[in-house]
Amino acid sequence: MSFVDCFRNMSRGMMLAGSLFAVSACSGSFDTDVMSIFSGPKAPLPCPQVEVLPGADAITIFREGVGRDLVDVRFEGVITPVSGECQYVDDETAVVANLILRIDATKGPAATSQSEDFPFFVAIAQRDGKILAKKVFSSPVEIAEGRRRGAVQEEIEQRIPLTGIKTGYDYVIIIGFQLTKEQMGLQS
């Protein structure tokens, strides 16, 4: 075989290899790199767990004054997480969790309006229970005229910086109503 024939065969082989590489480089997701062709897809990283704080999932709002019977109830509420998702950002140095939670309200006999503001909180904690951040929000729930029940959905975004080898699994997002000492059943 002459030098020219050898060069032609080598050129065809390189063109074939190049076209295979081009085809493989054009398929897959944006996370695909050259080595992922051999290692398979990257496993998704875990999201933080979402929990409702026990005892803070319900709230009773009484009218002003000392009465605390059923006839003194203005509104009652229940909070529940509905859905959520997370996304790792900034080269996986942070996780952003998007939550949708629902507040269901029932109008009591002492209600003087069709709406009430329900205070709730969202906290970020480590798995060991240490609270890292907490923010209190207020959500107005409007109840249609002639009805006793209403609801509202809140969309909340939480950004959690990740240090070391931590992932979303190492954190818990805790939600609940922001209760007063009286609402928690404590004496001041």
Q: What is the pLDDT of residue 8?
A: 45
Across the chain, mean pLDDT equals: 81
Q: What is the pLDDT of residue 65?
A: 87
Q: Where do we find the tokens 């923010």?
A: 135
Task: For the chain, report the end-to-end CA distance as a whole number of angstroms.
Answer: 99
Alpha helices, H only, the chain: 3-26, 36-39
d(CA 177, CA 57): 6
Q: What is the pLDDT of residue 141?
A: 96
Interval 87-102 mean pLDDT: 93
d(CA 97, CA 89): 11
Over residues 18-74, the pLDDT tens digits come to 433 333 333 333 344 555 555 556 667 899 999 999 999 999 999 998 888 899 999
pLDDT at 108 exceeding the cut of 60: yes
Kindly state the DSSP code that residue 5 receives in the 8-state scheme: H
Q: What is the pLDDT of residue 41?
A: 61
Q: Judging by DSSP bridges, how do beta strands 73-89 and 94-107 pair with one another?
A: antiparallel
pLDDT classification of 17: cutoffs 50, 70, 90: very low
The answer to whether 171 and 48 are in contact (CB under 8 A) is yes
Interval 164-179 mean pLDDT: 93
pLDDT at 7 exceeding the cut of 70: no
